[in-house]
A = this chain, B = another copy of it.
Amino acid sequence: MDQAVRSAVKAATADCDRNAWDAGNCPVRDVMNRISGKWSTLLLEALAEKPHRFGELRRLVPDISQRMLTQTLRDLQRDGYIEREVFPTKPPSVEYRMTPLGRSLFGPLSKVLAWAAENHDAVRAARRSFDDAGLA
């Protein structure tokens, strides 16, 4: 980890200390809380590629309930990561697309997702050996 990143993280940590790690004032927790939802990263991943309509997103993430799809999209929109555009056709259609802020987040975030894909086996192996050691 280079020095620039290290000091940025340290600054964030310092903020948390001053505010007793209050969720609302700690940048790390405030931002992570949202992107760490069960579906957030999957939707960001889908919308990072290109804009999608509601129904398309539902098909891209088959096991999401329509309630959680709506809610997660609204949360992402509220934090400024995605935009919602309504086309007053009949029947109506709605398109979701990433904002510049969302793209700027997805840059670093995608690196973590890539890490997950590359190291998934290592994690599963660690998990197995932990369980086999009887510490489960």
Give the B-binding residues of A (Cβ under 8 A).
1, 4-6, 8-9, 11-13, 15-16, 20-21, 27-33, 35-38, 41-42, 45, 48, 61-63, 74, 77-80, 101, 104-120, 122-127, 130-131, 135-136
What's the dominant secondary structure at chain A's contact region? helix
Ordered by A's residue number, 7 sampled pairs between the chains whose C-beta atoms are within 8 Å are: A1-B48, A5-B111, A29-B41, A78-B126, A78-B135, A104-B115, A108-B115
B116 touches A28 (CB 8 A): yes
Nearest residue, chain B, Cβ from A99 = B126
Question: Given A41-B28, A80-B123, A127-B79, is A105 in contact with B115 using a C-beta cutoff of 8 Å?
Answer: yes
CA distance A136 to B79 in the complex (A): 12
Question: Given A45-B9, A111-B111, is A117 in contact with B36 using a C-beta cutoff of 8 Å?
Answer: no
A13 touches B116 (CB 8 A): no
Q: Which of B36, B101, B130 contacts A77 (CB 8 A)?
A: B130
A130 touches B78 (CB 8 A): yes
The 5 A-B pairs at the shortest CB distance, nearest first, are namely A80-B126, A36-B36, A12-B117, A27-B120, A31-B116
A120 touches B77 (CB 8 A): no
B119 touches A105 (CB 8 A): yes
User: Can you add 13 more A-B contacts, CB < 8 Å, to A29-B41, A101-B123?
Assistant: A1-B48, A4-B114, A28-B42, A28-B45, A28-B116, A78-B126, A78-B131, A78-B136, A79-B126, A79-B127, A101-B126, A109-B112, A111-B111
